[in-house]
């Protein structure tokens, strides 16, 4: 039997500078067999290694509908992410995964989807967005509300432009008050406030929301006021992880192990958890 | 109904036979002034007069530090090699019933969906020879968690001391039987009519009800009672000693040791009692105070283990009580949580 902690080797094929301190890597498995057979679902995560520094956990930010590579987006804040950020195209890193559960996209056929993301919360949502866009015929209206502290902090700027131009997506962008630039065309205001103004109807709709915990808290409150059922609101939880496979004992929120039973939860499930966030 | 008899002196032969191959013989041994489970290479090193060794023998199944992979950076890439765990035959002589019971708990975590083979391969080759307890100290509370000084679960062979200083041997598992059959000359037949030493009496702690604790901890609202937890565990300084000696504590870290060019990736014991354990890179820490960390350990023992892993989180060995520098006694918290 195999060593569950042994990563695959992946090559950095491309690098995108997304925002200050935020980078994306396009990664390709060195092993052809792994490359050809690797599969995952939107919402799952992996552990990425900078050898010598260690491992760090991020979601798979690409869509499972795009084969042959994976993408991750991360902010350099710690030792491992800083070491990862020091690398260049052609360098090798480690990857273990996919781990965790996923967004039940299969069950959303025929529904409208509203994506709400804040800051560096867009990467996990992006995987779902592209998954839905690549199977566009399965869904009704698709709306995206994305906000960041300031204009420069918005990630995936090229894709935001593309989504903005597409007639089959309703994209609303916002920055926190004071974060706008003279050229800024989007809204100014916090995500929950902008959401309240948009006043989406709750009927036949699924919401996917990721971002800072405080944003998620208020977004869920606003959605509640707008009549959304907690079972139709999906989000992801984050915690410090080391093993990713339910052994190292640190990712739990009360009795819920985020690495195994998460990271995707409905708002209803989160309300059932121990207050251990 | 003893199936075999083992003379104390014959342990010398057993040690020689096990150690002559690749095998490791583990037993109670003196370390400074305390008894610990340690590798034994000579009969004279075994201590026979002990209650509960300071450590559990989990370190032989789940080492304190262990290499899981080696990496080396070359000019055209990285060479990464997984390291297979060494799993020699291991014989633990003189296990206590609480420690033997803890093995199923560790296994339940290490095989929960993903299988950590460095754990299972070691455990699969370990023969556990438990000796029933004939003495106890104030820390012992096995009966309170539904074990006993003579419970056999988790043991391969179960030994009872005879008055003349030998052991009656009960064969508990197939692994135990194979072992005994391999050493036919050492484990002699019969001995049924010898007298055994009196088994220790470990009364249940009054006012503690493990089932009630388990049910109570299922109620998420008790987390709102921060004052209660803070009050109960105020003394704790977060040293982590309780987790290191606990036979069911399984938390670890994964860390690279070496340079950016060459080194190894290791699994190292870690502890939920340390303040950095759950610290996010952002600076947020969901368990930002010691009482939350202590509560997590208690939850792990009496909620996660029984409810999630269907095994026993606490075997009542009392080690955490004996080792705690500030005298925080888990049974006092158990009592408090039983009475609510
Ligand atoms: S919690 Fe304490 S008494 Fe219970 S098994 Fe662990 S060390 Fe022993
Ligand atoms: S041994 Fe005592 S002081 Fe140390 S972490 Fe455990 S409970 Fe706290
Ligand atoms: S990350 Fe190790 S238990 Fe979840």
DSSP per-residue codes, A85-106: HT--TT-EEEEEEEES----GG
Is a pLDDT exceeding 90 seen at residue B75?
no
Q: Hey, where are the domains in chain A?
A: 8-99, 105-236
- Say what the pLDDT of residue A93 is: 95
- A105-236 CATH: 3.40.50.80
Predicted structure pTM score: 0.94
What does the alpha-carbon distance between residue A112 and residue A115 come to, in Å, rounded to a whole number?
Answer: 10
- Please confirm whether the linkage preceding A263 is cis (ω < 30° from 0): yes
Do A129 and A155 form a contact (C-beta atoms < 8 A)?
no
Distance from CA of B297 to the nearest CA of A (A): 10
- CATH of A8-99, picked from 2.40.37.10, 2.130.10.10, 2.40.50.100, 2.40.30.10, is 2.40.30.10
- In this structure, the residue with its CA closest to atom 5 of ligand 1 is B314
H helix intervals, chain B:
11-20, 97-110, 117-124, 174-182, 210-218, 226-232, 241-245, 290-299, 319-323, 330-338
Check if the beta carbon of residue A173 is closer than 8 Å to that of residue A160: yes
Is residue B177 classed exposed, middle or buried when 0-12, 13-18 and 19+ CB atoms within 10 A define those classes? middle
Name the helix (H) or strand (E) containing A117: strand A112-118
Nearest to A273 among B220, B258, B292 (CB): B220
Nearest to B307 among A9, A255, A274 (CB): A255
CA of B270 to the centre of ligand 3 (A): 12
d(CA B200, CA B149): 6
Residues of chain A scoring pLDDT < 50: none
Instruction: Please say whether the dihedral angle defined by the alpha carbons of residues A95, A100, A105 and A106, taken in this order, is positive or negative.
Output: positive
3-state class of A147 per DSSP? strand
Q: Give B318's contacts (C-beta < 8 A, 6+ positions apart).
A: B52, B137, B138, B139, B140, B141
The pLDDT, as a whole number, for residue B193 is 77
pLDDT of B77 higher than 90: no
Task: Please state whether B134 falls in left (phi above 0), alpha (psi between -120 and 50) or beta.
Answer: alpha
Task: Give the closest ligand to the alpha carbon of residue B277.
Answer: 3
What pLDDT sits at residue B224? 85
Res A170: pLDDT: 96
Candidates B291, B292, B326: which one to mutate for ligand 2, based on the most atoms within 8 Å of Cβ?
A: B326
Tokens of B163: 């008055």
Give the pLDDT score at A40: 97
Q: Is the CB of B301 under 6 A from ligand 1?
A: yes
**Alpha carbons B103 and B278: distance in angstroms, whole number:** 26
Which has the closest alpha carbon to B187: B174, B178, B196? B178
| B interface test, pick of A249, A251, A271 with most B CB neighbours within 10 Å | A249
Answer yes or no: is pLDDT of B56 > 90. Answer: yes
Going by pLDDT thresholds of 50, 70 and 90, the confidence category of residue B2 is: low
**In this complex, is the C-beta atom of B148 within 8 Å of any C-beta atom belonging to chain A?**
no
Range B119-122, long-range pairs (CB < 8 A, 24+ positions): B119/B61, B119/B62, B121/B85, B121/B87, B122/B60, B122/B61, B122/B62, B122/B85, B122/B87, B122/B90
pLDDT category at B302 given cuts 50, 70, 90 is: very high
Q: Indicate the burial class of B321 (C-beta count within 10 angstroms; 0-12, 13-18, 19 or more).
A: buried
* A240 interfaces chain B, CB cutoff of 8 Å: yes
Nearest atom in ligand 1 to the alpha carbon of residue B145 is: 4
Pocket test for ligand 3, best of A245, A254, A256, A263 (most atoms within 8 A of CB): A245
Residues 174-213 of A with CB under 8 A from B: 213
Rounded to an integer, the average pLDDT of B284-289 is: 93
Q: Is the pLDDT of residue B148 over 60?
A: yes
Q: What is the pLDDT of residues B236-279, one digit of tens each?
A: 999 999 999 999 999 999 999 998 789 999 999 999 999 999 99
pLDDT for B192 equals 66
**Interacting residues of A40 by C-beta distance below 8 A, sequence separation 6+:** A60, A64, A70, A97, A98, A102
Q: Looking up tokens 């030792």, which residue turns up?
A: A79
Beta bridge partners of A144: A115, A171
Q: Say which residue, B86 or A259, is predicted with more confidence.
A: A259
pLDDT-wise least confident of A184-188, B316-320, B335-339 = B335-339
- Does the pLDDT of residue B85 top 90, yes or no? no
Q: How confident is the model at residue B194 (pLDDT cuts 50, 70, 90)?
A: confident
pLDDT of residue B137: 95
pLDDT higher than 70, residue B191: no
pLDDT of residue A245: 97
Instruction: Choose the weakest-confidence range: A22-26, A243-247, B152-156, B214-218.
Output: B214-218
Task: For ligand 1, atom 4, name the residue with the nearest CA.
Answer: B314
Nearest-CA residue of chain B relative to A256?
A: B304
Domain range annotation of chain B? 3-338
The pairs formed by B60-63 with CB atoms below 8 angstroms and a separation of 24 or more are B60/B24, B60/B26, B60/B90, B60/B92, B60/B122, B60/B126, B61/B103, B61/B106, B61/B119, B61/B122, B61/B123, B61/B126, B62/B106, B62/B110, B62/B119, B62/B122, B62/B250, B62/B252, B62/B269
Section B310-325 average pLDDT: 96
Q: What are phi and psi of B254, to 5 degrees?
A: -120, 125
* Residue A11 backbone phi and psi in degrees, to 5: -100, 140
Return the pLDDT at A1.
Answer: 54
């Amino acid at each position: 039997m195999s060593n569950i902690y042994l990563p695959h080797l992946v090559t950095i094929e491309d690098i995108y500078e997304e925002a200050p301190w935020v980078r994306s890597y396009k990664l390709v498995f060195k092993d052809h067999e792994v490359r050809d057979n690797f599969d995952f679902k939107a919402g799952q995560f992996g552990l990425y290694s900078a050898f010598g520094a260690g491992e760090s956990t991020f979601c798979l930010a690409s869509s499972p509908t795009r084969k042959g590579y994976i993408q991750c987006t991360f902010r350099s804040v710690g030792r491992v992410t800083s070491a990862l950020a020091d690398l260049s195209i052609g360098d090798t890193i480690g990857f273990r995964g996919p781990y965790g559960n996923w967004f039940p996209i299969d069950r959303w056929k025929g529904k409208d989807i509203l994506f709400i993301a804040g800051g560096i919360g867009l990467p996990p949502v992006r995987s779902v967005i592209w998954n839905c866009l690549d199977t566009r015929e399965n869904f009704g209206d698709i709306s995206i509300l994305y906000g960041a502290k300031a204009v420069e902090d918005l990630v995936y700027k090229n894709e935001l432009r593309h989504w903005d131009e597409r007639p089959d997506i309703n994209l609303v962008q916002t920055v926190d008050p004071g974060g706008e630039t003279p050229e800024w065309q989007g809204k100014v205001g916090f995500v929950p406030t902008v959401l309240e103004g948009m006043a989406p109807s709750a009927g036949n709709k699924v919401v996917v929301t990721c971002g800072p915990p405080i944003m998620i808290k208020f977004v869920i409150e606003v959605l509640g006021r707008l009549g959304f059922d907690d079972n139709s609101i999906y989000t992801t939880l984050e915690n410090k992880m080391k093993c990713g496979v339910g052994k190292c004992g640190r990712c739990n929120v009360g009795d819920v192990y985020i690495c195994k039973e998460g990271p995707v939860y409905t708002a209803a499930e989160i309300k059932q958890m121990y207050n251990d966030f | 109904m003893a199936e075999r008899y083992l003379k104390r002196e014959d342990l010398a032969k057993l040690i020689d036979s096990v150690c002559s191959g690749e095998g490791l013989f583990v037993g109670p041994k003196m370390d400074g002034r305390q008894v610990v489970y340690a590798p034994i290479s000579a009969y004279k090193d075994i201590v026979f007069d002990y209650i509960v060794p300071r450590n559990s023998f989990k370190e032989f199944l789940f080492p304190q530090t262990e290499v899981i992979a080696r990496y080396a950076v070359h000019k055209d890439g990285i060479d990464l090699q997984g390291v297979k765990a060494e799993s020699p035959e291991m014989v633990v002589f003189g296990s206590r019933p609480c420690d033997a019971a803890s093995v199923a708990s560790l296994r339940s975590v290490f095989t929960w969906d993903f299988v950590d083979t460095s754990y299972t391969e070691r455990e699969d080759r370990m023969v556990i020879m438990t000796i029933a307890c004939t003495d106890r100290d104030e820390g012992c509370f096995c009966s309170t968690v539904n074990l006993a000084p003579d419970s056999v679960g988790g043991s391969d062979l179960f030994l009872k001391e005879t008055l003349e200083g030998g052991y009656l041997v009960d064969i508990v598992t197939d692994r135990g039987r194979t072992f005994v059959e391999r050493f036919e000359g050492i484990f002699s037949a019969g001995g049924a009519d010898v007298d055994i030493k009196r088994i220790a009496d470990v009364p249940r702690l009054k006012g503690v009800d493990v089932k009630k604790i388990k049910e109570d901890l299922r109620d998420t609202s008790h987390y709102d009672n921060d004052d209660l937890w803070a009050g109960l565990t105020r003394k704790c300084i977060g040293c982590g000693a309780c987790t290191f000696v606990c036979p069911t504590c399984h938390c670890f870290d994964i860390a690279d040791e070496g340079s950016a060019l060459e080194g190894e990736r290791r699994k190292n014991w870690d502890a939920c009692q340390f303040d950095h354990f759950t610290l996010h890179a952002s600076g947020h820490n969901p368990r930002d105070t010691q009482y939350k960390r202590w509560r997590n350990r208690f939850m792990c023992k009496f909620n996660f283990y029984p409810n999630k892993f269907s095994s026993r989180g606490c075997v009542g060995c009392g080690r955490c009580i004996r080792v705690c520098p500030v005298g925080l006694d888990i049974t006092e918290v158990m009592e408090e949580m039983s009475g609510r």
